Amino acid sequence: MRVALLLLLLAGCATSEPEHSGLRLVALAQGPGALHVQVCPEDADSCDDLTVTRGTVSDALELVPGIHEIRVSATEDGPVLSRFEYGFGPGAEYALALYGVADEPTHVSWTAEAKDLLGGIDEPFVAGFQLAHRMVPLRPPDADEAGEVRLVHGAPGAQPVRGTLALDSETIELPAVPYGAMGEAVRVERASGRLTLSFEGSPLDLAHVDLEPRPGTLTVVYVGAIEDGSLEVFTDRVGVSPR
CATH number, residue 178: 2.60.40.2890
Residue 155: pLDDT band by 50, 70, 90 thresholds?
A: very high
Q: Which of 138, 166, 196 is the last residue of a domain?
A: 138
Q: Give me the pLDDT at residue 184, please.
A: 95
In a domain, 10, yes or no: no
Question: Is there a single domain that holds both residue 132 and residue 160?
Answer: no
> At CB < 8 A and 24+ separation, what contacts does 83-90 make?
84/120, 84/121, 84/133, 85/42, 86/135, 88/21, 88/23, 88/63, 89/21, 89/65, 90/18, 90/19, 90/20, 90/21, 90/65
Range of the domain at 103: 19-138
| Residue 167 counted as domain residue | yes
Which neighbouring-strand residues pair with 240? Answer: none
pLDDT digits (tens, 9 = 90+) for 78-111: 899 999 999 999 999 999 999 998 876 544 554 5
| pLDDT exceeds cutoff 90 at 31 | no
Q: Are residues 172 and 216 in the same domain?
A: yes
CATH number at residue 99: 2.60.40.1120
Q: How far apart, in whole angstroms, are the C-alpha atoms of residue 168 and residue 193?
A: 7
145 and 235 share one domain: yes
Residue 119's pLDDT is: 45
Q: Which of 138, 172, 189 is the last residue of a domain?
A: 138
Q: What is the pLDDT of residue 19?
A: 86
Q: Are residues 130 and 94 in the same domain?
A: yes
Q: How far apart are CA 178 and CA 189, in angstroms?
A: 26
Instruction: Give the distance from CA 140 to its chain's centroid.
Output: 14
- pLDDT for residue 44 is more than 80: no
Q: Are residues 170 and 236 in the same domain?
A: yes
